[in-house]
């Protein structure tokens, strides 16, 4: 168990697009353990900005987390209640000359020529330096669709590194990211940066698939004058994979609490077996979240993904087959 004497906060932030699967639940457990072991509050945020992906699963997700033994401080906040915060941040960036319209379609971005060292999918700057007349013509050309709004990063694009509590030194590409989509929805990167700062979150634990996007968020933090590393710490945790080696998904069988309940596997058993996958419990051992907190040591978290195989009716395949 670690102690940093911190009075900040950690958080878990699910998107209500469906039931939480074992990978989501494992990450939530780790976020709780990181926060509680360092004296931080633990907060819950429902990331429901993208209404097209909102399956109305927020309350069910919160119930699933409670069933697993997680509790959080205060009420769960919803991004859909916080639009004015994002609008204010966008206005500040715009006033500083850091926002411009972008009419590029996704395919145009993927097909564009970019610098040799730029990663695939990074924005090539197509709309960045258009004149007012060119912007107006481009806007007319996509009507009635509206342009997206992008951040004019001071360097245009750069590779930026940060220290991760688990992964060590991590580098990511910070380009002219989207701040607000053409349909008016504020982008994830802007919303998460504003939310974490406003909520006092200074410890961010999430899946390691999100590590590359952290560079973009750090740029936004700095431009908005918000806390950034080293005042904000990151821990990107390994994912849970399906038997085909891809990220766990519903197609991989019984992967949610409700799926497993139908096979007679209770939430307490799910928690205990997830603890086994993290090297924090013995097979067959019943363990609570407070007991896990007493055993928690970030240095002992496995750094490789956990591979899930679907179970027979007794749930016995809730195991870690890559580490017998």
9-81+238-307 and 83-196+208-230 share one CATH topology?
yes
**What pLDDT was estimated at residue 113?**
66
As beta bridge partners, residue 288 has none
Enumerate the known binding-site residues for L-glutamate: 11-15, 47, 188, 206
Nearest to 258 by CA among 69, 68, 55, 70: 68
Query: What are the extents of the domains in the chain?
Result: 9-81+238-307, 83-196+208-230
**What pLDDT was estimated at residue 116?**
66
Answering whether pTM is above 0.85, one says yes
**What pLDDT was estimated at residue 137?**
97
CATH of 83-196+208-230, one of 3.10.20.30, 3.40.50.300, 3.30.420.40, 3.40.50.620: 3.40.50.620
Scored b (16 or more CB within 10 A) or e, 24-60 reads bbbbbbbbbbbbbbbebbbbbbbbbbbeeebeebbeb
Q: What 3-state DSSP class applies to 10? A: strand
Enumerate the known binding-site residues for ATP: 250
Q: Which residues contact 313 (CB under 8 A, 6 or more apart)?
A: 263, 264
Q: Is 278 exposed, middle or buried, given 0-12, 13-18 or 19+ CB atoms closer than 10 A?
A: buried
For the chain, which ranges sit under pLDDT 70?
1-6, 113-116, 310-324
Respond yes or no on whether the N-terminal peptide bond of residue 230 is cis (omega within 30° of 0).
Answer: yes
Q: Is 63 exposed, middle or buried, given 0-12, 13-18 or 19+ CB atoms closer than 10 A?
A: exposed
Q: What is the pLDDT of residues 1-38, one digit of tens each?
A: 333 445 799 999 999 988 999 999 999 999 999 999 99
Angstrom distance (rounded) from CA 259 to CA 143: 45
Nearest to 151 by CA among 225, 110, 200, 92: 92
CA-CA-CA-CA dihedral for 130, 132, 134, 136, to nearest 10: 130
Enumerate the known binding-site residues for Zn(2+): 102, 104, 123, 127
**What pLDDT was estimated at residue 2?**
36
CATH number of this structure's domain 9-81+238-307: 3.40.50.620
Enumerate the known binding-site residues: 11-15, 47, 102, 104, 123, 127, 188, 206, 250
Q: Which residues contact 211 (CB under 8 A, 6 or more apart)?
A: 164, 167, 170, 172, 234, 236
Angstrom distance (rounded) from CA 234 to CA 166: 8
């Amino acid at each position: 168990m670690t102690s940093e004497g911190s009075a900040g906060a950690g958080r878990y932030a699910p998107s209500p697009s469906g039931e939480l699967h074992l990978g989501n639940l494992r990450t939530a457990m780790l976020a709780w353990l990181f926060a509680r072991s360092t004296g931080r509050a633990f907060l819950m945020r429902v990331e429901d900005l993208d209404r097209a992906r909102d399956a109305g699963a927020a309350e069910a997700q919160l119930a699933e987390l409670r069933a697993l033994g997680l509790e959080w401080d205060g009420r769960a906040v919803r991004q859909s209640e916080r639009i004015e915060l994002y609008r204010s941040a966008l206005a500040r960036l715009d006033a500083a000359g850091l926002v411009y319209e972008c009419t590029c379609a996704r395919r145009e971005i993927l097909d564009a020529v970019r610098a040799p060292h730029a990663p695939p999918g990074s924005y090539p700057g197509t709309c960045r330096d258009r004149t007012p007349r060119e912007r107006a013509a481009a806007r007319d050309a996509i009507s009635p669709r509206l342009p997206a709004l992008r951040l004019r990063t001071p360097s245009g694009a750069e590779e930026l590194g940060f220290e991760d509590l688990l992964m060590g030194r991590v580098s990511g590409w910070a380009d002219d990211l989207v701040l607000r989509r053409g349909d008016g929805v504020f982008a994830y990167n802007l919303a998460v940066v504003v939310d974490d700062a406003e909520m006092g979150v200074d410890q961010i634990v999430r899946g390691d698939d999100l590590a590359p996007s952290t560079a973009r968020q750090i740029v936004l933090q700095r431009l908005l004058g918000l806390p950034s590393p080293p005042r904000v710490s990151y821990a990107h945790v390994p994912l849970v994979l399906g038997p085909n080696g891809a990220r766990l998904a519903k197609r991989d069988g019984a992967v949610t609490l409700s799926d497993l309940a139908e096979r007679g596997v209770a939430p307490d058993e799910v928690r205990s077996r997830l603890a086994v996958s993290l090297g924090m419990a013995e097979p067959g051992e019943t363990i609570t979240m407070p007991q896990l907190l007493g055993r928690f040591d970030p240095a002992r978290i496995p750094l490789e993904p956990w591979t899930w195989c679907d179970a027979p009716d007794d749930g016995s395949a809730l195991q870690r087959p890559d580490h017998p």
